[in-house]
Amino acid sequence: MQIHRSELSLLEKWLNKPNRKPLVIRGARQVGKSTLVRQLANKNNRFCLELNFERTPELSDFFVSNDPKKIISHLSTHFKKPLDPKSTLLFLDEIQTTPAVLATLRYFYEEYPELPVIAAGSLLDFALRAPEFSMPVGRIEYFHLNPLSFEDFLIALGETDLIEFFRTFSIKEAIPLPIHQRSLELLKQFWLIGGMPEVVAHYSEFRDSQEVDNIKQNILQTYQDDFHKYGRIKQIPLLRRVFQTIPGLIGQTLKYTNIDRESKSTQIREALEDLQLARVIHLVYHSHSNGLPLRAQIDLKIFKVIFLDIGLQCAALKLTSLEVINGPDWAWINRGSLAEQFIGQTFLKLIPTYQSPELFYWIREKSQSTAELDYIWQYNNYIIPVEIKAGKTGRLKSLHYFIREKKWSFAVRFNMDAPSFLHESINLPEEGNINFRLLSLPFYLAEQLQRLVQENISTD
């Protein structure tokens, strides 16, 4: 079954750009990079010449020359296929195994721009960090690819009417209770199934939860099988411990002792950085959030982690669909961490594909006044504090601390309740009332955040 990808339209825009540069797709293994490129070629009636350098490394010999037209001529002879640039797409897959081939992309841009070229590699970031290697800066474009979003998942299930409802919803409207309940049930399914393309394709066609869990476990094992490719053979046992521990620590400011008391903090940090380079985890840094950009104010020593995909997190935690769906009001211990994983994963999808993915949060560690905001999100020139409540209700103590300290008057909350736009007030004995507006959204509207903030922040 072919899965709809919202990114396909973005790749088509790249394909039709008059000043198109070779495109480098970066993303974790099995997020669908190769399939997406094939879909692009098929939809636009192009022959996709796919070279996989992991399976056939000898193909790199074609790229010894720096003359792209000669390279294509030799490839045409080898594959016995005329390669017209107007009807061909050259796809260089798993290019991290032969990083020298990446250097030739500059010549395709400078001397043969009429031929569209896409490169991809699941462990590409490891090649890019090598000191002897340099990318053809200014002559390529990056495209960061993540797992499927919740709305992509709904499209795979045929819930297109519901997506149209989400995309036209206004905060001034009330959501009928049956639609709200149906949306929460589908959200629960997504939290369990996740957004890995192979998993979603199988679930949408067969609804076989047991086989879905088997596929997810295989993906998790595949990531661990890749550890020997990271270049730190002695670190493999520690990499496994870190990889297996992280799903249970999502939502917590990370302390190295919670991962492994026997290893040095520098070793654990290196393992975390390797897993981030492989894109199977994302580090979320504390930002002081006094202004923009948020990255300029981060503390590299204070961070938490989210996993690549919420469905894989469930698989790693051994949460089965039967346990979760039959649980009373989702009364299971990891509900809060899944809520934070879901929002973090969604925020990564909201970042333009040409930008490097990054997430931030805020923490205040003071005696008797500790506070932590789940995420700090930048929207245009606004800093948006984001609070996450796994259920319908919950105190907003940390949010109040942030607003009191930063004097910001617009915030977002995600929970299981119906959406609302509230006028809140914090009473301070010495300063009087601090007023702010709270956009409260159910989790299933997370992908509509940019639009709904734009519609309501102007009234602030």
User: What confidence score (pLDDT) does residue 340 get?
Assistant: 96
The pLDDT of 147-158, averaged and rounded, is 96
Hey, which bits of 94-234 come out as E strands?
117-121, 141-144
Q: How far apart are CA 63 and CA 81, in angstroms?
A: 18
User: What confidence score (pLDDT) does residue 460 get?
Assistant: 45
Which of 72, 70, 48, 75 shows the shortest CA–CA distance to 59? 75
* DSSP character at residue 172: T
User: What confidence score (pLDDT) does residue 140 get?
Assistant: 93
Q: How far apart are CA 117 and CA 246, in angstroms?
A: 36
Q: Do residues 80 and 49 make contact, with C-beta atoms less than 8 angstroms apart?
A: no
User: What confidence score (pLDDT) does residue 8 get?
Assistant: 96
Q: What percent of the chain has pLDDT over 70?
A: 93
Q: What percent of the chain has pLDDT over 90?
A: 74
pLDDT tens across 192-229, in order?
999 999 999 999 999 988 899 999 999 999 999 999 99
Query: What is the separation, in whole angstroms, between the first and last Cα of the chain?
Result: 46
Q: Is the pLDDT confidence value at 329 over 60?
A: no
In degrees and rounded to multiples of 5, residue 185 shows phi and psi of -65, -40
**Is the omega angle on the peptide bond into residue 131 within 30 degrees of 0, that is, cis?**
no
What's the whole-model pTM score? 0.94
Q: Is the pLDDT confidence value at 108 over 60?
A: yes
What is the rounded average pLDDT for all residues in the chain?
A: 91
pLDDT tens across 401-420, in order?
899 888 888 999 999 999 99
Q: Which residues contact 315 (CB under 8 A, 6 or more apart)?
A: 194, 213, 216, 217, 219, 220
- Weakest mean pLDDT among 11-25, 60-74, 327-341: 327-341
User: What confidence score (pLDDT) does residue 315 get?
Assistant: 95
User: What confidence score (pLDDT) does residue 391 get?
Assistant: 75
Q: Is the pLDDT confidence value at 390 over 90?
A: no
CA distances from 131 to 134, 269, 272, 274, 364 (A): 8, 20, 20, 16, 37
pLDDT tens across 240-295, in order?
999 999 999 999 999 999 998 889 999 999 999 999 999 999 999 999 999 999 99
Q: Strand pairing partners for 143? A: 25
pLDDT band with cut points at 50, 70 and 90 for residue 131: low
> Is residue 385 packed enough to be buried (19+ CB in 10 Å), middle (13-18) or exposed (0-12)?
buried
pLDDT band with cut points at 50, 70 and 90 for residue 135: confident
Q: Is the pLDDT confidence value at 96 over 80?
A: yes
User: What confidence score (pLDDT) does residue 125 get?
Assistant: 86
pLDDT tens across 228-238, in order?
999 878 889 99
pLDDT tens across 434-456, in order?
789 999 999 999 999 999 999 99
Q: Is the pLDDT confidence value at 459 over 70?
A: no
Record the tokens describing residue 441, joined without a space. 């959204």
CA distances from 146 to 108, 221, 377 (A): 27, 19, 18
pLDDT band with cut points at 50, 70 and 90 for residue 428: low
Record the tokens describing residue 290, joined without a space. 């006094």
Alpha helices in 18-130 (DSSP H): 33-43, 68-79, 100-103, 105-111, 124-128
User: What confidence score (pLDDT) does residue 126 get?
Assistant: 86
Q: What is the CATH number of domain 7-144?
A: 3.40.50.300
Helix, strand and coil percent figures for the chain, each rounded to 5: 45, 20, 35
Every domain range in the chain assigned CATH 3.40.50.300 = 7-144
User: What confidence score (pLDDT) does residue 430 get?
Assistant: 59
